[in-house]
Amino acid sequence: MTRLWREAVVVVTLVWLSGCGSLLPSERAEVQSPFIDYLDAEMRYSQAVNGMTSRSELFSLGFDPLTQGNGKMLSFIDVRLMFVQPNIPINYLPDGLVRCLEAKDRCVGYAFEFTKTDTQRVGSFWADVFNFRKQRAIQGWSFRAVFVLVDDVLVHKVSNGEPNIRHFEVKRNPLGPLQGAGEYFSDQLK
């Protein structure tokens, strides 16, 4: 009976070890947005046209800091600090920004940042648990846009972002679980 018991323990252990990769933690971070993905955000951004798009139309495209969130409302001063640099003459700026600077209090801006990332811990379960090596695969997208309006009409827009984030991080600790022990003990002595 003991031989059968040992064989059962070995089989259960092997099955358990083969599935250990799924025991690694994962993480998902998303800044809530009305957009499905980067291309959706970019497509809606392109529908906003300088000199034609009103504030309400901009909001209906999904760029509404009040209902959609994750947007900053910018004053005239904020817009000026964002775009005007000491070494660049004012006449070098795009016409819409010059109109904003001339309009002063009638000028407002909106800055948005939307991100979605999925982080998976990959690699050896045991190396991760015992702190020898932690590997993370990160994928997702980010989109940032700034809109400048004068008298509720869009006069300038600019965007940037990362349509296809793909990062792989490896953290190695040759001493494994002892790697941070020195810091831990010095913190305890304080």
Parallel/antiparallel/unpaired status of strands 107-122 and 153-172? unpaired
Q: In this predicted structure, what is the pLDDT of residue 138?
A: 85
Residue 183: pLDDT band with limits 50, 70, 90 = low
The pTM for the full model equals 0.73
User: Mean per-residue pLDDT for 9-28?
Assistant: 57
Q: Where are the domains of the chain?
A: 27-116+141-161
Residue 182: pLDDT band with limits 50, 70, 90 = low
- Whether 143 and 57 have beta carbons less than 8 Å apart is answered as no
Residue 161: pLDDT band with limits 50, 70, 90 = very high
Measured CA to CA in angstroms, residue 82 lies from 32, 110, 143, 159, 174 at distances of: 24, 12, 18, 13, 45
Q: In this predicted structure, what is the pLDDT of residue 53?
A: 96
User: Mean per-residue pLDDT for 83-88?
Assistant: 86
- Whether 148 and 154 have beta carbons less than 8 Å apart is answered as yes
